[in-house]
Structure formats: C-alpha cells, structure tokens
Structure 1
C-alpha cells in the first residue's frame, strides 16, 4: 500500500523542526524494524533519485528485497520530499530527499537545518552531455564499427539475453541493466521494462570503490599520504593504539578495527547504516581487535571512516564534499548522473549509497581501463592505480586491493578466483543484490550488471560475466 500527499516544490526542505517524523530513531531490535529502516532509505531514492513509479518501487524493490520487508507500506509526501515506511509491530521510519544529494534516513541525532541550507546551495545535477560516447551519450560510429568487427555478435547477444531471461522470471526485474563496453564502444546494452539509460541505480557496496577513488585523488594532490596515521580525531588521544592506523590500512581493509559486517539487528553494520546520524563516528569508535596491518576484514565501517576523511579534507561540509566528487571525478569522467547520498552529519555514505546510470557505472570502469584517463585528461595517477590493484598483504588470498576486488588466486589455489571463469587480470566493484562493474584489461572491456536479486536467490556472477566475456575479442597487444 502507498499513501500519497501531493503538493509543490521539492525545494521545501527546512524540516528540522517538523517532529514527530524526525524524532530520535529507536534501536533496531527486530527484523521488522530493519525492514522499515531500509525500506524508507531505498524507497526514497527509488522514487526521488531514480524517478521510478511509487507502485513499482514498493513491489519490485521493497516487497521483493527480503521476507522482513513484505509487510511494509509507504507514505510519500512529494511536497516535503519524504518517504515514510511502516509495518505492523515495527518502528516507523522516514527518509528525506534533497535535490543534488539524494536521500537521508533521519534519526534525530543531528540537526537537519544546516544540511538543508548546504544542499540548497548545490546546483542540480548536470544534464547529459551532447557529446559522443564516452563523454556523452551521442553515438560514436567509428568506435562502434571497429568494435563490432572483433566480437562474436550472436554469442554476445545470447549471453546478455540469458542474464535477463534466466533471472527475470514472471516479469520480475531482477537483472535491470547490462552494459558491455569493448574497445571504448558500447557493444551491448539492455534494460528491463521500467528502466532505461537515464535511470539511476544503486550500486550498494560498489560505492566503496568510488570512495576509494576519491581518496586517491586527494593522495595524488598530496593532501593525504598513504603511510601517515589516518587523520581521525577519535584516535588522537595519548596512548590510543588506533592512532597508528594508516590511510593505506583503511583502504586495504586491514585497520584491525572491530566491525561485524553481517546484517543482523544489534551488529555494528545495522547500527551504523540505520540508527546512527553520524556513521563514521560510530565506526571510528570501534576498538582494535588486531594489530593494524596484520588482519584483513571486509568492513563498511572502514569505508565510512574514509568518507569522513574525504569530508574533512574538502572543507568539512556536505557542499564541499559533494562539489569535490562532482568536479574532480564525476563530471570529468562523464559520470554526470552520479551521486552518493549523505548521512545526517553531511558525510557521503561511501560504503553503500552510490547511484548512477548503468552507462555511468560503465564510465567508472572505463576510467580504470584507460589507466586513469578520461576525456583526454589524466584524472588518476598511474601510481595510485598500481596501488589500488595490488593485493593487500594482510589478506590470506590476493583478491582485494584498495577498495577494489581482484580476480586473482594464489599460485597454489587457482580454483579460488572470485570469478573462476573470467580472466585473472579482471578487477571489480561489487555490491549487494549482485551489482558488478567488471574491468577486464586483457579484453579491453568493461561489463556492468545492475539488478535486485532478492534475498535467498542467486545471480551467478561467474556464469553470466564469463559468458559475456567469452563473446568478446582479446585486446590487441600493446605496441612495443
């Protein structure tokens, strides 16, 4: 069920005083509480960021997500720019939309008025560029023709179709978008009904890779240094062992901090994403469990600490961090639809809440495939990219770099690649519900799959990505 309030402009944002919708959020103690919290966040973005129909968002995103979201109802207030999620026996939760920055799940922990003013000063996201692909969306016939001569068109079409037809049973849009780029050209592109090349889609943890890139820009600028102690205020007390954690260790998930990534009520991941107004503060408050640099542990909390480091380094405001992301990464790379939603403290939630069109996720992959260059300009140094793609020594397997997954296996365990049948030089940004941006240098290719695979079901990354890759031609050997 969806209830509606109609009205005027989405710019009516000064809502800080409008309790009870923004009363302090209660702790999440049950799966039903988690259901309303996650539903408010993703439904708000589905409606206001992706511009999808409210009934489609409720049916295909909320009720399909997990068993504990099936009873959720939504109340949409278009004048205020809010979505409220409720369910029997669960705490009611609200998310607020701000133009140019997306949606924020409200908790009452942090006043909203100052953030509203910052968001109001940001310009709307730029319109698509009237330039040929990849900087814009106009056709690039020369690139297209060259790419077409090298691939197996019938096999590629069949592989892309299989990723839809084998998953989208009964009309449910599990696979929502696939974009395949080879030789710089889009050689395959398909969308489920209700989605198109202008639909922004959630990357979930693929956002971590983007946040890593934003850190990389600051390292290239000399603002941050990989082997200096990370500039985290909570760790600066005399004798605090966390003060020894370096930026390198945060980037490679080897900080040693305690953080339980499994998504169950009471765990740090749930408290951070759905209870805390300042997510980085919660993550930074965690104690050390291992000596820094000695243990690898995947942690969304670690990425949100990195997010706040970027926030502080770019002026300490939502406006400053958003402008930095737009002007230094998104616009130069052609990713004009991209945004990362903030928490109430104004810090972009780098662990989880990045939205972009499928083409813009592909452009993010192209930036890496093209060795840090886009639009004829260098955005990232080769030194940064080499670091980002170097396996972290703290991990027992060589499958993680700096906020990127690597398709490598140790010499004695070749059968343990992340994607077994995909070339070993591939690297990936990956996220919940089986989002993937796979970059395969040996095939000069980027493969993007965005979807919404429900809990308990599976999208076989290896099978579908390898089928597509098998239809593509190997990259030409570099000139000597």
Structure 2
C-alpha cells in the first residue's frame, strides 16, 4: 500500500466504547442472519479512516493480541489526521471491531481464527464467512527447534557471527532507529531484527511489542504472494509465459487475454490501475469497498501493450492472489493450507498469515502478518537460495527470475514482486538506496516496512513500524548504518 499525502499529525485519545457482548454475540454467528447491508462507497477521507481503522484495529487486537487502548492510541490515532476522533467498539464474542466517527460511514471487520480479519462490505453474511475457515488449524509451532526453524539459539553460529561484526557500531545503529525519532517524535519503529551468518546478531522491540507480536507488512506482503506463485510455477501448475488464467480475459478478442503471468509478477501487465490512495481511486475501491478484490482489479481495462510499461499496482498482486486461490482449490481453506504447508511451516514462519477478503482470497497486496523473526525467516529463504530446513523449497530458476531487473521499469529497481538495489555499471542509474549494498533484495511496505536480504554480507535486516502519514523513516540512513556495522561477508554455515 503506497502512502497518501497527509500532513496533520495531532493525536487525541478518545475512550474506547465497548458494545455489550450480549447485544451482538448471537447476531454475528447465527446462520439464519442474511447478508449485511452493503457498505457505502468511500466518499471522504473520514470514510477511509473508519475503513482502515476497522481493518487494522481488528488485526492488532485479535491477531497480535494487543490491548485495545494501545491500538486505538498508537495504530488508529497514529495513522492519519482523519482518524483522530474515531471510536472503536470491540465485541469479543462476535469477534468484531467497529470503527465510527461523526460524519463518516461506520465500518466493521470480522476476525476468524487462523486467517485473521476481513473488512465487511455486506456481500456475504458473517455466518458464511465463518464457514470458509471453519476447518482450518493454526500452523504447527516449532519454537523449541534450533534457529532458524525455531527460536532456540545455536551457539556456534552466534560466536562465529559476533567475531566478525562491529558490535558497538551495530548496537548504535539499531538503537538509532528507535531513539532518534519514535512515538511523539515519530517515526515509531516497533521491531528490528538483524541476522548475519545464520545467527540473530541484533534484535530490539518498542515497549508493548516483543518477538511474539505479529506485525503487518503492508506491501511487503506482495513478496510473499510472489513466492506462493513461484511454488506453483516450480510445481508446473502455472507457467510464466502462458496467458494468465483470468476468466474475465478469456472472451474472443479481449486484448487482456495476452497478459502473461510473468507480466503480472513484474508489474508490466499494462492494466489501468490507480495506486493513489484518495477516495474514488482504484486502490481505495479495491481494499475498502470490494468483497472480491481480485475481481475488481481484473475488470480494469488495458492501458498499455502488455510488457511495454511498468506500473506499480496492488491490483496486479491481488489478481495473482486470485490465481493462487483458483490453483489451490478455489477455497480459502485450500489457499491457506497451501501457504502453510509449502511456505510457512517449511521455513519456520509459524506466526504468518495473509488476511482474506470476503471472497476467501488472501489479500496478497497488503495484509500479511508475521512476527519480526518470521519476516526475517522469509528473508533467509532468499538468502539461502530457496533452501530452508534442509530442503530446497524454491528452484534456482525461479529465484533468478525473481531478482532479475524488469526491462520495462524506468530504473532496474524491480524484479518479480521484489525490490532491487541494483546500480548499472555505466552510472546512468543510481542505487535505490545509496548506502545499502547494491545486491540487496527487498520486500517493502507502507509505513516503511522493510525486509532487506543482502547476499554479500550473508545478512537479513528487518524493520517494522507504524510511521504516520507525511512522516518518513529514512531507509537509506538507518538500514545503511546497520549494514555498515556488519562484516562484509560471512560464509554460510
């Protein structure tokens, strides 16, 4: 999710209003209840405020297990100026969070165990939504196993890594990401994890967060969805250069029928999609009005010849999500189990989930949650060339493709749902982040989330936070300082 341009950051802290559990417990869970009234369009920034707040507050409370008052103060009130008078109603029996404020549409999100929260639009009853996830079980935990499959430290790795880094400089660099600006001064860093030589060499959390807190990746989620596509390509279920299996494009003479999976992955589909986050634009309609986000994105017309123009698009990723959904059985259950069995369990990412829309399709553009350590494990999958837990999960061919610069992009900064830091030899194009090593491969998201994999240093750097609209976390400065404190290269264990 890209950043709207907003500048007012005054905070207020209204009290949370609790709805009586008795009043809604039966309403949300009764199979006889019809579909809810359709959600109104996002007409004003205040409508956007209640929609965003319901979605993120629901996950922060039910997925991350954080206190309602902290979520209201730090997530809702810390998000944007148009959220400062929002009131939250939390119903734990119904598993809902409702956000309301004067002059805005009231919006509600529903939590379902294992899959997380879904913003309700009225397309589907909550009883049907519960049925979608009724048989799912959490990803199996393995905390007692040695890192990285679990959380038990491996002393030989730790000793080897410590011997080669500048401890004082690393601690100073990590602390700077929290202490130079945080909370009232912003940008509100919540977690830093640094891995080198296979060991965690630095880790810090803001008050109220720890290594068990699931944190939102926003658009870093795109990279995880790209990896799920890669698993299906490696399986032979999907093919990069075949026309993408999108039903809406199969009509005779439809020019979108030429769009390939490769072009969707590299953001060169040519589809029209406005990524600007203002009411009325495609991104807002998709994330906060549509019950089937992939369908809305797939309905967009062609603006450029496929493969000739690069345009960053959350809609494109949600088309990929729907392709994965169909390829894994066409149910939320099938898609969730595929992600668990093929990616999350084999890498040790036991906290990870991607929240779905009402159609049951995981919102790959925006809604992946995982602990900071699990985001680091995702980086390790790339660092270790597709291997995890002693098994080859992704092929060399897929990984080479994923980090190859897209020719249609104006600079060589994008691969397949991954950001690159490549500098061209002729000097025409600078690195995306000048002080970060050129070989860095990154998953990046709104509010300045980053998972940076740096092969030349055998390292992964994770920063997760909640930088408000209009504020900036200086990726280049802080990630560059951390990278500078690490050893130039550490042999893989």
TM-score by length of 2: 0.94
Q: Which residue of 1 aligns with 2:308?
A: 294
CA distances 1:387-430 after superposition (whole Å, capped 9, x unpaired): 00001111121000000000013334466322111110001000
- For the residues of structure 2 that align with 1:414 and 1:446, how far apart are their CA atoms? 28
2:157 paired with 1:143: yes
- For the residues of structure 1 that align with 2:286 and 2:74, how far apart are their CA atoms? 25
Q: Is the 8 A contact 1:429 1:436 kept in 2?
A: yes
Q: Which residue of 1 aligns with 2:111?
A: 97
Q: Is the 8 A contact 2:220 2:445 kept in 1?
A: yes
- For the residues of structure 2 that align with 1:356 and 1:16, how far apart are their CA atoms? 31
Q: Is the 8 A contact 2:186 2:467 kept in 1?
A: no
2:276 paired with 1:262: yes
Q: Which runs of 5+ in 2 are unaligned?
A: 1-14
**Which of residues 419, 437, 441 is equivalent to 1:405?**
419
TM-score by length of 1: 0.96
Instruction: Using the TM superposition, give the Cα deviation of residue 140 of structure 1 relative to its aligned residue in structure 2, in angstroms.
Output: 1.3
- For the residues of structure 2 that align with 1:6 and 1:362, how far apart are their CA atoms? 40
- Alignment CA distance shift 1:478-1:145 (3 Å): closer
Instruction: Using the TM superposition, give the Cα deviation of residue 14 of structure 1 relative to its aligned residue in structure 2, in angstroms.
Output: 3.1
Q: Is the 8 A contact 2:33 2:125 kept in 1?
A: no
- For the residues of structure 1 that align with 2:183 and 2:214, how far apart are their CA atoms? 23
Q: Which residue of 1 aligns with 2:77?
A: 63
Q: Is the 8 A contact 1:86 1:92 kept in 2?
A: yes
- For the residues of structure 2 that align with 1:438 and 1:72, how far apart are their CA atoms? 35
2:366 paired with 1:352: yes
- For the residues of structure 2 that align with 1:89 and 1:100, how far apart are their CA atoms? 34
Q: Is the 8 A contact 1:442 1:474 kept in 2?
A: yes
Q: Is the 8 A contact 2:458 2:491 kept in 1?
A: no
| Mean Cα deviation higher: 186-195 or 65-74 | 65-74
- Alignment CA distance shift 1:16-1:343 (3 Å): farther
Q: Which residue of 1 aligns with 2:18?
A: 4
CA distances 1:131-178 after superposition (whole Å, capped 9, x unpaired): 011000111111111100000000000000000001215487810000
Deviation beyond 6 Å, 4+ runs, structure 1: 8-13
Secondary structure of 1:438's match?
strand
Secondary structure of 1:365's match?
helix
Instruction: Using the TM superposition, give the Cα deviation of residue 116 of structure 1 relative to its aligned residue in structure 2, in angstroms.
Output: 1.3
Q: Is the 8 A contact 1:11 1:98 kept in 2?
A: no
Q: Which residue of 2 aligns with 1:121?
A: 135
- For the residues of structure 2 that align with 1:178 and 1:371, how far apart are their CA atoms? 23
2:29 paired with 1:14: yes
- Alignment CA distance shift 1:12-1:474 (3 Å): farther
Q: Which runs of 5+ in 1 are unaligned?
A: none
Q: Which residue of 1 aligns with 2:461?
A: 447
- For the residues of structure 2 that align with 1:415 and 1:228, how far apart are their CA atoms? 32
Q: Which residue of 2 aligns with 1:159?
A: 173
**Which of residues 190, 194, 201 is equivalent to 2:208?**
194
CA distances 1:83-132 after superposition (whole Å, capped 9, x unpaired): 00001100000000000000000001234433311311001343343101
Q: Which residue of 2 aligns with 1:207?
A: 221
Q: Is the 8 A contact 1:6 1:78 kept in 2?
A: no
Secondary structure of 1:129's match?
coil
**Which of residues 36, 41, 51 is equivalent to 1:27?**
41
2:377 paired with 1:389: no
Could you say what the CA RMSD is over the residues aligned between the two structures, in angstroms?
2.0
CA distances 1:44-66 after superposition (whole Å, capped 9, x unpaired): 00000000000000000001101
Q: Which residue of 2 aligns with 1:325?
A: 339
| Mean Cα deviation higher: 160-169 or 113-122 | 113-122
Q: Is the 8 A contact 1:13 1:116 kept in 2?
A: no
Secondary structure of 1:2's match?
coil
Secondary structure of 1:286's match?
coil
- For the residues of structure 2 that align with 1:471 and 1:172, how far apart are their CA atoms? 24
Q: Is the 8 A contact 2:458 2:492 kept in 1?
A: no
**Which of residues 280, 295, 315 is equivalent to 2:329?**
315
**Which of residues 51, 59, 70 is equivalent to 1:37?**
51
Instruction: Using the TM superposition, give the Cα deviation of residue 354 of structure 1 relative to its aligned residue in structure 2, in angstroms.
Output: 0.2
**Which of residues 267, 275, 290 is equivalent to 2:289?**
275
Q: Which residue of 2 aligns with 1:433?
A: 447
- For the residues of structure 2 that align with 1:11 and 1:400, how far apart are their CA atoms? 48
What pairs up with 1:222-241 in 2 under 5 angstroms?
Answer: 222-241=236-255
Kindly tell me the number of residue pairs found equivalent between the two proteins. 478
